[in-house]
Amino acid sequence: MGIPVNEIKQRKEKIVKYLNDNLLDAFMILDPYNIFYMGFYHVVTERPVAYIIYSDGKVELFVPMLEKDEATRVPNVDSVKTYFEYPGKKGVFEFIGEELKFGNNTKKIGVDNTDFKLFKKLSGVFEEVKVSDVIYDMRIIKSPYEIELLKSAGYYSDYAVSAGFEALKLGVSELEILSELEKKTTEKMIDELDEVIYVPGGPVGALLPTGWRTALPHGLPSNRKVEKGDTVMLSCGANVKGYRTETERTCFVGEPSKDKIKAFNVIYQAQKLATTMMVPGKSCSEIDRTVMDFIRENGYGDYIRHRTGHGKGLGEHETPWVDEGDPTIIKPGMVLSSEPGIYIEGLSGFRHSDTVAVTDGEPLLLTKYSKKLEDLIVYV
């Protein structure tokens, strides 16, 4: 996928420091997105992949045989070991455990993500198993390289919304709009980017409920056809080298009613408030409480269905959470979604979303498609 070698090296060095500070022999990375973060993009299936970093800096990849050729191309990996298939005659983690314990005298390990069953299994092999968020914490603060990828993804997220808006016509189904915006945006990415690879989620995607379905916060695309008077929620995202952004806009087919305009204006102001608060020193909980209070004070508290936002990066949703239950302090380098919404059954849903980079000063919008009402009406 072309992540610069030096970028991966810096990430590895932070994990090695963590291992030595905590007197651990190795770190086992199992979460596919954390493995992507270390430079190995692969098809995620039931077959486990384990990326092992030792306290001396050595790196081993354990992969199923069908991923061997891909794995040998990963930079900064010292060796690749394979198992034939899953579940296999010998369990995959029994094999990995034996290789670590007897091949490298590994006694104490860290692991990024495990269920109780696997934790129990690993605890039977090693003297100490420490579940750690160290990589998730690293991913919260984006490097300049990552910010540039997210800026690029933001550009294509905006383009996807534009393509979806152009496709809004009476009688066209949600699935046909999705097909059109995916086709146009993917073609543009192929023409303009040096590398486009289908990582989970694809280069571009969208939720685009219409009419009554906009009251469903995550309404999946269907065969419902656009009608005059519809609200349409163009919820689009793009993915550049694994890094994801989202642009969401609430649009109207024909002049919206007074009730719709009133709700639209409240959520427009709520989202603007959220974005302006995404500055160093604020907390995620403070932002969410302030925005939710604003919506309640304007009479729409009964129609809130979710928090203000979440982290963006390799994952569609990742830490931190812009929610009253997350006390995380906002810092430069964080990238967040700003997307409060209200959902009124019998009327429609209303949500704008932008992807926002936190800087030393004012928030930096990575997605810039217009949110003005007059720019979001399709006249029919």
CATH of the domain at 306: 3.90.230.10
- What does the DSSP assignment read for 36-83? HHTT------SS--EEEEETTS-EEEEEEGGGHHHHTT-TT--EEEEE
Digit-by-digit pLDDT tens for the chain (380 residues) are 578 989 999 999 999 999 999 999 999 999 999 999 998 888 888 999 999 999 999 999 999 999 999 999 888 899 999 999 999 888 899 999 999 988 889 999 999 999 999 999 999 999 999 999 999 999 999 999 999 999 999 999 999 999 999 999 999 999 999 999 999 999 999 999 988 888 877 899 999 999 999 999 999 999 999 999 999 999 999 999 999 999 999 999 999 999 999 999 999 999 999 999 999 999 999 999 999 999 999 999 999 999 999 999 999 999 999 999 999 999 999 999 999 999 999 999 999 999 999 999 999 999 999 999 999 999 98
List the domain range (segments joined by +) for residue 78: 5-139
Mark which of 139, 171, 186 sits at the end of a domain.
Answer: 139
Count the domains in the chain: 2
CATH number at residue 23: 3.40.350.10
Are residue 157 and residue 74 in the same domain, yes or no? no
Helices (H), the chain: 5-21, 32-37, 68-71, 92-104, 116-123, 134-140, 144-167, 174-192, 258-276, 284-297
Are residue 79 and residue 168 in the same domain, yes or no? no
Mark which of 79, 110, 139 sits at the end of a domain.
Answer: 139
Are residue 69 and residue 210 in the same domain, yes or no? no
pLDDT value of position 42:
80
Are residue 279 and residue 315 in the same domain, yes or no? yes
Residue pair 156/240 in contact by the 8 Å Cβ criterion: yes
Are residue 235 and residue 284 in the same domain, yes or no? yes
pLDDT value of position 208:
95
pLDDT value of position 44:
87
Distance CA 278, CA 264 (A): 22
Are residue 42 and residue 155 in the same domain, yes or no? no
Are residue 160 and residue 32 in the same domain, yes or no? no
Mark which of 120, 139, 158 sits at the end of a domain.
Answer: 139
Are residue 336 and residue 258 in the same domain, yes or no? yes
Are residue 253 and residue 369 in the same domain, yes or no? yes
- pTM of the predicted structure, to 2 decimals: 0.95
Please state, in angstroms and as integers, the Cα–Cα distance from residue 236 to each residue in 37, 153, 217, following that order.
23, 11, 13
Are residue 197 and residue 62 in the same domain, yes or no? no
Q: Identify the CA nearest to 139 among candidates 11, 39, 27.
A: 11
Are residue 103 and residue 165 in the same domain, yes or no? no
Are residue 198 and residue 306 in the same domain, yes or no? yes
